[in-house]
Structure 1
Amino acid sequence: MTPEDVRRIALQLPGAIEKSHFGKPDFRVRDRVFATLPKVGDAVIKLTRDQQEMMCAAEPALFRPVDGGWGKKGWTRVTLAAADERTLRSALVTAWRNTAPVTLRKAFDLAGG
């Protein structure tokens, strides 16, 4: 997958917009970041610690915690070259759900998202 794929999938999610975080593209819902594109070949997504542990254990070539304190808060690096569309979409939706307000998540669930 590519940064353009991340952008396309992220911006399909309700209320998602693209902004910039320290000069790098990020994706937000209600001004809260759920994903970033910090460097070529990687995306970073906001997971819970439990989600992070599960995803990293299941697919260590694809997911790994961000170094340092942010990784301990659930921020997780995604190696785009190892991702397929279905897995990337699922990871981005999970990060979006972790960030979006309850009302927006419920509307998305009712719409079949």
Structure 2
Amino acid sequence: MATGNDLRRIALSLDGTTEAPHFDRAAFKVARIFVTLAADGRTANIKFTAEEQEFKCMLAPGAFTPVPNAWGKQGWTTVSLAALGVAELRNALEMAWQHAQPKKRK
């Protein structure tokens, strides 16, 4: 069972990640925000690609749910932390962190 403290520890261990307030949540970002943690530490919103979101929600519907509205259509997914193990949370955060890297110049 993962916790908000696990999320914070894992997210901040990913290279270049910083934490800052984001409305009533804590946001973790590299070049872009890739996860926000609810103030109560029970849920988080993680940014996946549409395909990753669909797969995660199909694989573990009790843990992953698309955020309602346009945010969910952009890949933002609510995660119930208690429904995940720490290894599963790490995998999800690493996936989202990779997409938040600075764009490479050509």
Q: TM-score, normalised by structure 1?
A: 0.85
**Larger RCO: Structure 1 or Structure 2 (Cα < 8 Å, ≥ 6 residues apart)?**
2
Q: Which has the higher helix share?
A: 1
Q: TM-score, normalised by structure 2?
A: 0.91
Inter-partner Cα distance in structure 2 for 1:28 and 1:20: 11
Tell me how large the CA RMSD over aligned residues is. Answer: 1.2
Q: Structure 1, unaligned stretches of length 5 or more? A: 104-113
- Deviating 4+ runs (over 4 angstroms): none
Contact 2:63–2:83 under 8 Å retained in 1: yes
Inter-partner Cα distance in structure 1 for 2:25 and 2:61: 25
> Are 1:75 and 2:71 matched, yes or no?
no
Q: Quote the sequence identity (%).
A: 45
Query: Partner of 2:38: helix, strand, or coil?
Result: strand
Q: CA deviation at 1:38?
A: 2.6
Alignment length (residue pairs): 102
> Deviations 1:38-66 (Å, cap 9, x if unpaired)?
34210110000000000100110111101
